[in-house]
């Protein structure tokens, strides 16, 4: 794709529904008997993977027009007797969070994935679920990690657990919460830092017995989930983030993005950008089961900041685009505690370094703390403002790397190219057409 610079923008736009909430909405609706209408629902490669799995498990799925989906739920136990083979495609969320439900079913599952997901670690869900008595055939004491396919056999009885997680991961937390719906006693989960809480919020909407006390999640068996019958999904903050940054770094510009999810456990980027001097206004705020609002941004003179490890979980998917913003900020921005970026769709630390350098950015990364290589964390530093040049960007087959690089190219004032953009369909199929409408 050729990337042409944009001089300025002044527009009101809308980005697609939230990906994380879309996964949870269809999954939890499947676990509640009867019909639930989800409108709007994100249609992308990742959410399609979840839908395909649910269909194979016997859940009724009917698309109504382009933006709605009607789910006919089966209850907590899917109506299957024989072994089911599922495929999560490239969607880590699909595989990790569904596994928490599948380990409690009365049938075996061979859970496969596409090549890119076969390289991503699954020990983080397999090991704690095994403590809850889940029965994985690929459990191995000696293995450093576990990779797909997951071979899940029925468990005699899922037991409650008490977890103090080492990594703040909403996918791991969600898998454990889902498994806890099948255990008789209370499961407690404590995270090192709060990760996105969409599962907790959606389960509350379905009247599940889940409570958060002093930052600890308490969850137990739910005889039934009660569907609210209609679910509205706000726009995806992670997709909005690319345009929030674009509006800030282009000169003489103003951009309003409508109905964006501003859940505090997701929108950490806003807090960091405001510290950088960004002109951001939150307007028309609505408090639904998830809060959402219009986000108005104006061209801003950004200055460098330090970002602490405790801030990372609430902006885990926005580090690539934050580093783009840092190229336009005066001074050295350092983002601490970003080790998890190494196990996303690609090693995003390497991807950020490669693309920022290609455009003339000054960037470095390295390890910090810890005595052993596995306990060390990572940081990224970006020094701005950069002297930009035409770049040949690489997507590394990662949607967020591709979109961040395109925004960098658009705002750099130079013409650039990127090798591949098909990966963008994972979360934001309309990205290119929306960007085109801004020229
Ligand atoms: C997600 C959680 C995050 C995030 C991913 C989606 C989710 O992953 O990076 O894009 O929907 O729960 P981790 O939980 O592994 O941090």
**What ranges in 79-213 are assigned the alpha helix state H?**
92-102, 115-118, 123-131, 170-180, 198-205
Strands 254-261 and 291-298: antiparallel
Dist. CA 111–CA 88, nearest whole Å: 7
* H/E segment holding residue 11: strand 10-13
Are 245 and 222 found together in one domain?
no
Are 48 and 165 found together in one domain?
yes
Mean of all residue pLDDT scores within the chain:
97
Are 196 and 302 found together in one domain?
no
Length of the chain in residues, anyone?
439
Are 225 and 126 found together in one domain?
yes
**Domain span holding position 303:** 2-16+234-436
| Ligand 1 pocket mutation, candidates 171, 197, 343, criterion most atoms within 8 A of CB | 171
Yes or no: say if 91 and 46 are a contact pair by the CB < 8 Å rule: yes
Res 106 pLDDT > 80: yes
Angle at 313 between CA 304 and CA 249, to 5 degrees: 35
pLDDT at residue 207, rounded to an integer: 97
Are 220 and 242 found together in one domain?
no
Res 351 pLDDT > 70: yes
pLDDT bin (cut points 50, 70, 90) of residue 139 is low
Strands 416-418 and 392-393: parallel
Lowest mean pLDDT among 219-233, 284-298, 362-376: 362-376
Res 429 pLDDT > 90: yes
DSSP output for 312-359: SGGGGGGHHHHHHHHHTSBEEEEEE--GGGGGSSS-HHHHHHHHHHHT
Domain count for the chain, please give it. Answer: 2
* Backbone torsions φ then ψ of 68, nearest 5 degrees: -115, 155
Ligand 1: residues with CB < 6 A are 20, 93, 169-171, 174, 195-196, 316-317, 340
CA 346, 340, 213, 287 dihedral sign is negative
Q: Which two tokens stand for residue 163?
A: 């977890």
pLDDT at residue 141, rounded to an integer: 55
CA 414, 415, 416, 421 dihedral sign is positive
pLDDT at residue 184, rounded to an integer: 85
pLDDT bin (cut points 50, 70, 90) of residue 414 is very high
Strand partners, 73: 34
Are 153 and 242 found together in one domain?
no
pLDDT at residue 70, rounded to an integer: 98
Domain boundary among 189, 212, 231: 231
Are 299 and 358 found together in one domain?
yes
Yes or no: say if 73 and 32 are a contact pair by the CB < 8 Å rule: yes
Q: Which two tokens stand for residue 119?
A: 């390289």
The helix/strand/coil state of 410 is: helix
Residues 6+ apart with CB under 8 A from 179: 100, 101, 103, 104, 129, 132, 134, 158, 161, 187
Tens-digit pLDDT profile for residues 203-243:
999 999 999 999 999 999 988 999 999 999 999 999 999 99
pLDDT at residue 291, rounded to an integer: 98
Res 97 pLDDT > 60: yes
Residue 317 known to be catalytic = yes
Residue 57 sits in a domain whose CATH number is 3.65.10.10
User: Which is higher by pLDDT, 366 or 375?
Assistant: 366
Ligand 1 midpoint to CA 5 (Å): 31
| Best CA proximity match to 242, nearest among 372, 68, 48, 408 | 408
Q: HSE on the CB side for 178, CA within 13 Å? A: 34
Dist. CA 12–CA 2, nearest whole Å: 24
**What ranges in 16-56 are assigned the alpha helix state H?**
19-30, 45-56
Residues 283-308: what's their mean pLDDT? 98
| Ligand 1 pocket mutation, candidates 93, 340, 344, criterion most atoms within 8 A of CB | 93
Res 373 pLDDT > 80: no
User: Which is higher by pLDDT, 369 or 183?
Assistant: 183
Domain boundary among 231, 261, 289: 231
pLDDT at residue 372, rounded to an integer: 79
pLDDT at residue 370, rounded to an integer: 77
Q: Which two tokens stand for residue 10?
A: 């002044």
Are 194 and 79 found together in one domain?
yes
Are 167 and 249 found together in one domain?
no
Q: HSE on the CB side for 17, CA within 13 Å? A: 24
Res 78 pLDDT > 70: yes
Ligand 1 midpoint to CA 114 (Å): 18
Are 80 and 199 found together in one domain?
yes
The helix/strand/coil state of 151 is: strand
Dist. CA 256–CA 350, nearest whole Å: 32
Are 158 and 274 found together in one domain?
no
Q: What number does the ligand 1 atom closest to the CA of 317 have? A: 9
Residues 6+ apart with CB under 8 A from 115: none
Domain boundary among 171, 197, 231: 231
pLDDT at residue 371, rounded to an integer: 79
Cis peptide upstream of residue 297 (ω within 30 degrees of 0): no
Residues 16-25: what's their mean pLDDT? 98
Are 289 and 395 found together in one domain?
yes
């Amino acid at each position: 794709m050729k990337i042409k610079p944009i001089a300025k923008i002044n527009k009101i736009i809308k980005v697609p529904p939230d990906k994380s909430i879309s996964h949870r909405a269809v999954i939890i609706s499947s676990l509640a008997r009867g019909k639930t209408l989800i409108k709007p629902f994100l249609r992308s490669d990742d959410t399609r993977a979840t839908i395909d799995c649910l269909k194979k498990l016997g859940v009724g799925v009917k698309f109504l027009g382009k933006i709605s989906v009607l789910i006919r739920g089966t209850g907590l136990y899917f109506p299957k007797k024989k072994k089911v083979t599922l495929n999560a495609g490239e969607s880590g969320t699909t595989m990790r969070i569904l596994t928490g439900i599948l380990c409690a079913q009365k049938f075996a599952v061979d859970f496969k994935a596409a090549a890119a997901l076969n390289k991503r670690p699954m020990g983080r869900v397999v090991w704690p679920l095994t403590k809850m008595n889940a029965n994985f055939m690929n459990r191995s004491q000696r293995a450093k990690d576990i990779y797909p396919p997951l071979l899940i056999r029925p468990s005699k009885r899922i037991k409650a657990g008490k977890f103090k997680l080492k990594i703040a991961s909403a996918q791991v937390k969600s898998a454990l919460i889902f498994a806890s719906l099948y255990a008789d006693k209370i499961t407690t989960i404590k995270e090192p830092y709060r990760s996105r809480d969409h599962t907790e919020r959606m389960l509350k909407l379905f009247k599940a017995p889940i409570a958060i006390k002093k930052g600890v999640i308490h969850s137990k068996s739910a005889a039934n989930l009660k569907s609210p019958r209609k679910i509205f999904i706000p726009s995806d903050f992670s997709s909005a983030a690319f345009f929030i940054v674009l509006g800030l770094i282009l000169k003489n510009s103003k951009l309003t993005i409508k109905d964006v999810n501003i859940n505090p456990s997701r929108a950490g980027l806003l807090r960091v950008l405001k510290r950088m001097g960004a002109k951001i206004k939150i307007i028309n705020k609505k408090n639904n089961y998830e809060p959402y609002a219009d986000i108005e941004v104006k061209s801003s003179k950004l200055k460098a900041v330090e970002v602490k490890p405790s801030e990372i979980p609430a902006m885990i998917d926005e580090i690539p685009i934050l580093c783009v913003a840092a190229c336009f900020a005066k001074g050295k921005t350092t983002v601490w505690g970003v080790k998890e970026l190494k196990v996303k769709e690609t090693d995003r630390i390497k991807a950020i370094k490669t693309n920022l350098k290609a455009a003339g950015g000054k960037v470095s990364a390295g390890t910090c703390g810890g005595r052993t290589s596995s306990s060390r964390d990572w940081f990224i530093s970006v020094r701005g403002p950069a002297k930009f040049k035409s770049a040949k960007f690489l997507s590394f087959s990662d949607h967020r790397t591709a979109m961040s690089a395109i925004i960098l190219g658009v705002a750099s004032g130079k013409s650039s190219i990127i090798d591949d953009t098909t990966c963008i369909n994972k979360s934001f199929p309309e990205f290119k057409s929306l960007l085109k409408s801004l020229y």
